[in-house]
Structures are given as structure tokens and as C-alpha cells.
Amino acid sequence: MAVQSGADALGLVFFEKSPRCVTIEQAATIISGLPPFVQVVGLFVNAPLEYVNATAERCRLDLIQLHGEESPSYCDAVTRRVMKAFRVRGAESLAALTDYRVAGYLLDAYSPNSYGGTGERFDWDLASAAKGHGPIILAGGLTPGNVALAVSSVAPYAVDVSSGVEAAPGRKDPVKVRAFVRNAKTR
């Protein structure tokens, strides 16, 4: 449904504590049915490196999103391209970006209770300032109602959404997904 709505990438969550978690078997089935040119992102949080690399190989993931406290050396050892997530509280949250040699930086709102998917927003001016480090993927509190403003204000490389297009935790709302993609691509 997300791909039919025009999404360029599809994220699959491999974090057991998330209501969005999929099994390796579910992910492989979903991926086998995707059309060409859709990027598949596997999201992991503080998972053993061997598990991340084995899952990436088994599922044929294109990109790995690391949303925990993974170190730069851990990121270097992942066998796929890495998008490292940073939970932004303030400008000090972005100091570590220079330590990572990754394909992109996902900036999400900080929450003491969750690694993401909270629906909370952070100061987008910080995301604009971080663009000098490399491709910025903007996340955190994005919805169909504010994504066009986010794109025009920040001009990120991409946007990432989860809870902002859900009817309930882990259940995407097709109307919200279509509106989000349409509004994200409106210039």
C-alpha cells in the first residue's frame, strides 16, 4: 500500500519491543513481492551485529537503519549501507555526527521512553544545520498535515514517517499514507 501510494522506500522494523516489529520470514515475504526500484530499509536497535548482517542477507535489505547506541565501528562492520539515527534534544545531540561515516543521518525527536515512533517533533532548524554532515533524513512528529512545511523548511534528503500515518500503533492508515506521500512530494 505504501509503495502504491508512491513511497520510494519501505521500512521494516526488526525491534521486538516495537508494535511494528516483523519477523524475518514476514519481511522476506513482503520484500519478494515488491516492484523494482523500491529501497527496503531494515530498522534495528542495539541488535547483535551478526543478527543485523544475517537478516540483511536473508531478506535482501538495501539499507540498515540503526536507531540505538551503535558505535561508529559497529556501523562500519555492517555489510549494507547504514543510516544512523540520532535522537535530537538540542544542538549537542548532533555533535557525534562527525564520528560516523554512514550513507545518511536520520534525525528523530528524543524521547526517554522510546527509540522512535513517538510522534514527537524536534526543532527543525537543527536538522537544517546538520545538512553539512551529509544526507539528512527528517523524522519525528511528521504527519500529512505538516510534511510539506517540513520539506520546504528543511529541504532534507528524505523524510521518514511511522506513527504519523497510523490508525493505531503498528496499523497504517491508507488515507494518511497517501496524503503523506503526496504532500511530501509537493513542491
Residue 169 pLDDT: 86
Instruction: Please spell the DSSP secondary structure of 5-73, one letter per residue.
Output: TT-SEEEEE--TTSTTB--HHHHHHHHHTPPTT-EEEEEESS--HHHHHHHHHHHT-SEEEE-S---HH
Backbone angles phi, psi at 182, to 5 degrees: -60, -50
Q: Which residue has the cell 532548524?
A: 125
* DSSP SS3 for 142: coil
* DSSP SS3 for 166: strand
Residue 166 pLDDT: 93
C-alpha cell at 26: 514476514
C-alpha cell at 155: 529541504
| Angle of CA points 13, 85, 72, to nearest 5° | 110
Count the neighbouring beta carbons within 10 Å of the beta carbon of residue 32: 9
Residue 179 pLDDT: 97
pLDDT digit string (tens) for the chain, length 187 residues: 999 999 999 999 999 998 899 999 999 999 999 999 999 999 999 999 999 999 999 999 999 999 999 999 999 999 999 999 999 988 888 999 999 999 999 999 866 566 555 566 778 889 998 998 999 999 989 999 999 999 999 999 999 999 899 999 889 999 999 999 999 998 6
pTM metric for this prediction: 0.92
Residue spans per domain, the chain: 9-135
CATH class of 9-135: alpha beta
